[in-house]
């Protein structure tokens, strides 16, 4: 699979040190770790942070063909504070390089020729008109790839009309429970149950899949009309920053798991989900295991299976999610 991410790249200024991030970037970085070919469309400054970011992309094999270097603009940063519940809060710097991403027709033609199988985008970068215009042109020229819109709302700077447009451009919508409540208030659907919301949003935007994450309570997924809810095992949470992005990558990744998995395998007792930092970063672990299934044969033997994690109670070889 070839995957393209479009959006911000920035350094998260965490208490433990800076980590390279940006939501769509995190997703394609994890997809790269899963063995897929990836490229990322963004911009960095001609500064030390920009050069370090480019070094990480090169070291990890993430395609830089669509990364612009902009003198006079600093590389993006975000201050991150983790609250008492373990949830990160971000303050994203403005006037930075990624905001000026404006790819020319030659870059558009090269991307179309590369023919990605999946395109990943979020809300933060798409607030900039040149970026959403380029994204719109690309998706118009490439109607067949999976289009994963990971909502990732921040506290301000977005308009309801933008969210409507991005959802209408997508085939797969991923959002958190709190984001579900926000967009339900915009008329996307009811919050009576997550399944009811997913069905309403799918019908409204013509989506093939809607995924809602519930933090420690697991996730729900509507795919081709069937709804699945799964709860995670008990784990010691080491770090939640980037966990939603790691989940989005696992959701999209075509990973296979066989019944050859050892019965002695056990779930991890702790996990972290991090974006890259120089010179390397730990392989993320997603916290989901096989859970409750609908009786539909479409779902039998399918679940959300993180890369490198064992699965059990499956009949034959399964593909956790191919959308």
Asked if pLDDT for residue 117 goes beyond 90, the answer is: yes
In a domain, 303, yes or no: no
In a domain, 302, yes or no: no
Q: What percent of the chain is predicted at pLDDT more than 70? A: 75
- pLDDT in the model for residue 154: 77
What's the whole-number average pLDDT of the chain?
78
Give residue 243's pLDDT band: very low, low, confident or very high (50, 70, 90). Answer: confident
Mean pLDDT lowest for which of 29-38, 105-114, 141-150, 269-278? 269-278
In a domain, 38, yes or no: yes
Mean pLDDT lowest for which of 102-111, 149-158, 250-259, 276-285? 276-285
In a domain, 175, yes or no: yes
Give residue 79's pLDDT band: very low, low, confident or very high (50, 70, 90). Answer: confident
Domain housing 118: 2-272
Average pLDDT over residues 193-222: 94
The tokens for 36 are 């897929």
Average pLDDT over residues 85-102: 82
- pLDDT in the model for residue 304: 30
Average pLDDT over residues 11-20: 84
SS3 letters across the chain: CEEEEECCCEEEEECCEEEEECHHHHHHHHHHHCCCEEEEEEEEECCHHHHHHHHHHHHHCCECCCEEEECCCCCEEEEEEECCCCCEEEEECCCCHHHHCCCCHHHHHHHHHHCCCEEEECCCHHHCHHHHHHHHHHHHHCCCCEEEEECCCCCCCCCHHHHHHHHHHCCEEEEEHHHHHHHHCCCCCCCCCHHHHHHHHHHHHCCCEEEEECHHHCEEEEECCEEEEECCCCCEEEECCCHHHHHHHHHHCCCCECCCCCCCCCCCCEEECCCCCCCCCCCCCCCCCCCCCCCCCCCCCCCCCCCCCCCCCCCCCECCCCC
- pLDDT in the model for residue 80: 72
In a domain, 221, yes or no: yes
Asked if 109 and 138 touch (Cβ cutoff 8 Å), the reply is no
Asked if pLDDT for residue 115 goes beyond 80, the answer is: yes
Average pLDDT over residues 186-213: 94
- pLDDT in the model for residue 313: 27
Give the Cβ contact number of residue 88 at 10 Å: 17
- pLDDT in the model for residue 120: 96
In a domain, 130, yes or no: yes
State how far the Cα of 195 lies from the Cα of 51, in Å rounded to an integer.
45
- pLDDT in the model for residue 232: 81
- pLDDT in the model for residue 83: 66
Asked if pLDDT for residue 314 goes beyond 80, the answer is: no
- The pTM of this model reads 0.77
State how far the Cα of 163 lies from the Cα of 148, in Å rounded to an integer.
13
Check which CATH number belongs to the domain holding 65 and give it. 3.40.1190.20
With tokens 């920035």, the residue in question is 10
- pLDDT in the model for residue 82: 65
In a domain, 319, yes or no: no
Asked if pLDDT for residue 68 goes beyond 70, the answer is: yes
Q: How many domains does the chain have?
A: 1
**pLDDT tens digit sequence for 258-289:** 222 222 233 333 334 444 443 333 333 333 23
Average pLDDT over residues 170-191: 93
- pLDDT in the model for residue 312: 27
Mean pLDDT lowest for which of 73-77, 171-175, 234-238? 234-238
The tokens for 318 are 């399964």
In a domain, 170, yes or no: yes
């Amino acid at each position: 699979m070839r995957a393209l991410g479009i959006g911000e790249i920035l350094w998260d200024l965490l208490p433990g040190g800076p980590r390279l991030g940006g939501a769509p970037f995190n997703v394609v970085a994890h997809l790269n770790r899963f063995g897929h070919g990836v490229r990322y469309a963004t911009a960095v400054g001609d500064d030390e942070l920009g050069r370090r970011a480019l070094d990480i992309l090169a070291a990890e094999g993430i395609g830089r063909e669509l990364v612009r270097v902009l003198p006079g603009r600093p590389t993006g940063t975000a201050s991150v504070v983790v609250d008492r519940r373990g949830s990160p809060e971000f303050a994203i710097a403005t006037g930075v390089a990624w905001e000026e991403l404006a790819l020319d027709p030659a870059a558009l033609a090269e991307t179309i020729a590369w023919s990605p199988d999946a395109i990943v985008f979020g809300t933060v970068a798409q607030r900039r008109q040149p970026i959403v215009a380029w994204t719109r042109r690309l998706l118009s020229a490439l109607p067949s790839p999976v289009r994963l819109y990971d909502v990732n709302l921040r506290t301000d700077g977005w308009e309801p009309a933008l969210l409507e447009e991005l959802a209408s451009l997508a085939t797969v919508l991923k959002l958190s429970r709190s984001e579900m409540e926000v967009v339900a208030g915009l008329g996307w659907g009811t919050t009576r149950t997550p399944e009811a919301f997913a069905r309403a949003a799918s019908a409204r935007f013509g989506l093939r899949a809607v995924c809602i994450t519930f933090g420690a309570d697991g996730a729900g997924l509507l795919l081709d009309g069937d709804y699945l809810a799964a709860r995670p095992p008990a784990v010691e949470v080491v770090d939640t920053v980037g966990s939603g992005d790691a989940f989005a990558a696992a959701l999209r990744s075509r990973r296979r798991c066989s019944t050859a998995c050892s019965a002695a395998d056990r779930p991890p007792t702790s996990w972290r989900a991090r974006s890259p930092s120089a010179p390397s970063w730990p392989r993320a672990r997603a916290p989901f295991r096989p859970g409750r299934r609908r009786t539909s044969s479409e779902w039998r033997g399918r679940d959300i299976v993180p890369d490198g994690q064992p699965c059990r109670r499956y009949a034959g070889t399964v593909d956790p999610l191919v959308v």
